[in-house]
Every structure is written in C-alpha cells, then in structure tokens.
Amino acid sequence: MATNLPPEYFEADKRYRAAKTPGEKISCIEELLRIVPKHKGTDKLRAGLRKRLSKIKITAQAKKGTGKRESAFRIEKEGAGQVVLVGPANVGKSALVSALTNATPEIADFPYTTWKPTPGMMPMENIQIQLVDTPPLNRDFMESELLDLIRRSDYILLVVDLQTDPVHQLEESFAILQEHRIMPDHLKELFTEQRGLIFIPFLVLTNKFDNDNFDENFEIFCELLENDWPSIPVSATTGRNLEQFKRMLFDRLEIIRVYSKAPGKHPDFKEPFILKKGDTVEGFAGKVHQDFAKKLKTARLWGTAVFDGQLVQRDHVLSDGDIVELQI
C-alpha cells in the first residue's frame, strides 16, 4: 500500500536532517508523526519514527543524568515489592499499568510510545505493590540503565499480546534478557553450571484476553510452551482477570502481612508490616524497631496457627495475617 506522503512531510524531514540538538530533533520527529497519514501503508514508517524518537529521548535523558540529576531509570522501590513489566512494543504494558495503578503513562496504538520507566502503585487489599512500565525490549537499542532497573526488581512480568503471535514475542523477549544474563527463577535448575546469571521470578501476562473468544488462543499458547512458563491471561481493555492477577502476584511474591499490637490496645490493621514467607517473630521485631530484635523476650500471637494470645518464642515462623504483641 502506498504511503502517499504530503509535501509537508518532506519539508519537515529536511528540517530534521538539518537539526543539531536533541531538542530540535525531537520537535521535528513529533512534527513528522503529526503529518504522516494514519493507515496501514504508513504503519512501518510511523513505527520507525517512534523508535527513532525513543532513542533520542533516552539518550538526551541519559546525558542530563550525568550531572547531579537522578536518572529516569532510577526508580526507588516502594510498597510491598517492585515489579517491572517488560516485553516487545505495542503489547499493552502501558495500558496494564494504567488499568492497575494510579499512574498515567502515555498510551497509543503505535509502538515506541514509552521511552522512560513509569512507576505506579497497585492496590491489593490493604497493601500496595509497585508496578513499573518500561520501554520495549529491542535488540537494536537497549539502554543499560533499563537492564539495571530490571536486575534490581523483585519480580518481572513479561507481557505478550495474545492476539498477535505471543509465542514468538515471549521467545524473542526471553532471548534478549538471556543475552544480558537475566533469567527466570523457575529455570534455575537448567543453568546451574553457568556463572554470572541473575535469576528473578517471572510471570507471563498474556494481554488482550478481551472475551471468551480468546480462550482457545490461550490454551494453544500454553500447549506450545508446554506449560513451562507460569502465565495468566488478562485484558487491560475490559479488566478481565485483573483481580485474579493481583492475588496471583501477591502469592508469587511470597510475602506476608503482619500486624502490630501494643499491650491493651487494638491491632493496627491500616499499615501491615511486609515480611517474606518464612520470617520469624524476631525478624518482625527488627522491622518494628532495630533495637527490639535484641531486647525481645517473647511475643503474644493471634493467628490461624495458634490460640488467640498464645505466647510464642522469637524463632516462631509467622503467617500472613498474624497479629503480634511484642514482649520487650
């Protein structure tokens, strides 16, 4: 299909080629995107322009960050865990972050809209989990700071588009991450002899599971992967399975919520302490105050595995929802 570009496009393209500063180049490409007609014949051209724009913006941001400014890729961890969404362009990462959190990343139906990470807080019952939208994984251009962000994260959500060859998208994304020595935690046993690998828990989010018509697509997707990858189908557009996904992510983060109680008072249910599964009363005491772990004698516990108010020792393993009254 012919692109049928108007004369204004070629004039703007000349200005782009003559531009010297990143700001001038960004303005020119944004003008080109406004001029290019939107139809199938210009899809590749628009994608190329978005990709070029993304590279220039990231490079410009990196140069700004060489001074005292913080890099856009340095996202401080907040909430019960930091979870990054990765994957190819146009699979709906930004739409998912927008649907699940308070963040408002730029969303468009063409690729390379996202050029820097965007964090948002996802509520899950009475806690918040940090989700981070990221630029697309791309062999031709991978910002080293993006890789650092992924390596520092607590969990990776690999997003694919269920309606557009999700197996290829997953394999390509996995290959790119593997080239940079970032590996799924569930495959650790297959790579025991390789050194220098970073293993992080993964979950595959198969987005655009918009209605029942795509049930078979997801079944075929799982069969082709031989169920080797943990996955859940969701839809950012309709909200389908998003609540189930929240619970699944909470469980897979392997965290628990523990509530503090002062003697003679009601427990504080508003802000639970977040611990890892397997943590003990002693670990909880250290979370409340660094000196409490040393001074701790015993504790009273309310929970599913004990009698209400039962005395327990400092090495008692806690469960999600436990209420602890420390005896200092």
pLDDT interval class at 63 (50, 70, 90): low
Q: What is residue 178's predicted lDDT score, i.e. its pLDDT? A: 93
Judge contact between 280 and 312, C-beta under 8 A: no
In this predicted model, what pLDDT tens digit does every residue of 206-221 receive, in sequence order?
999 998 889 999 999 9
Residue 156 pairs with which residues in a beta bridge?
84, 202
Name the percent of the chain lying above pLDDT 90. Answer: 54
Q: Give the model's pLDDT for residue 39.
A: 76
Residue 17 clears pLDDT 80, i.e. is over it: yes
Query: Position of tokens 């989990």?
Result: 129
- Residue 163 pLDDT level (bands cut at 50, 70, 90): very high
In 3D, which of 328, 326, 327 has the Cα closest to residue 284? 326
Q: In sequence order, which residues have a C-beta less than 8 Å from that of residue 132 and are 6 or more positions away?
A: 75, 82, 83, 84, 85, 97, 117, 118, 119, 120, 149, 153
82-252 and 255-327 have identical folds: no
Residue 182 has pLDDT above 90, yes or no: yes
> In CATH terms, is domain 82-252 a member of 3.40.50.300?
yes
Assess whether pLDDT exceeds 60 at residue 68: no
Residues 32 and 47: their CA atoms lie apart, in Å, by: 12
Predicted confidence band of residue 64 (pLDDT cuts 50, 70, 90): low
More confident residue, 250 or 10: 250
Q: Which residue has the higher pLDDT, 73 or 129?
A: 129
Q: How long a stretch of residues is the chain?
A: 328
What does the pLDDT read at residue 53?
A: 79
Q: What is the DSSP string of 204-272?
A: EEEE---SGGGHHHHHHHHHHTTT-S-EEE--TTT-TTHHHHHHHHHHHTTEEEEEE--TTS----SSP
Give the mean pLDDT of 89-102.
93
Domain boundaries, the chain: 7-64, 82-252, 255-327
pLDDT score recorded for residue 156: 98
Q: Is residue 114 pLDDT above 80, yes or no?
A: no
Residues 218/206, Cβ–Cβ less than 8 Å: yes
Evaluate if residue 100 carries a pLDDT over 60: yes
255-327 belongs to CATH 2.102.10.10: no
Helix, strand and coil in the chain, % to nearest 5:
40, 20, 40
Residue with tokens 């399975």: 241
Among 52-61, 110-119, 155-164, 309-318, which is the least confidently predicted range?
A: 110-119
Q: What is the pLDDT of residue 66?
A: 53
Candidate from 84-88, 102-106, 230-234 with smallest mean pLDDT: 102-106
At residue 24, does pLDDT exceed 70?
yes
Rounded Cα–Cα distance for residues 6 and 35 (Å): 8
The pLDDT-based confidence of 61 (bands split at 50, 70, 90) is low
Among 19-23, 267-271, 297-301, which is the least confidently predicted range?
Answer: 19-23
How far apart CA 97 and CA 25 sit, in angstroms, is: 29
Measured CA to CA, the distance from residue 131 to residue 36 in angstroms comes to 33
Q: Report the pLDDT value the prediction gives residue 1, as an integer from 0 to 100.
A: 43
Residue 159 clears pLDDT 80, i.e. is over it:
yes
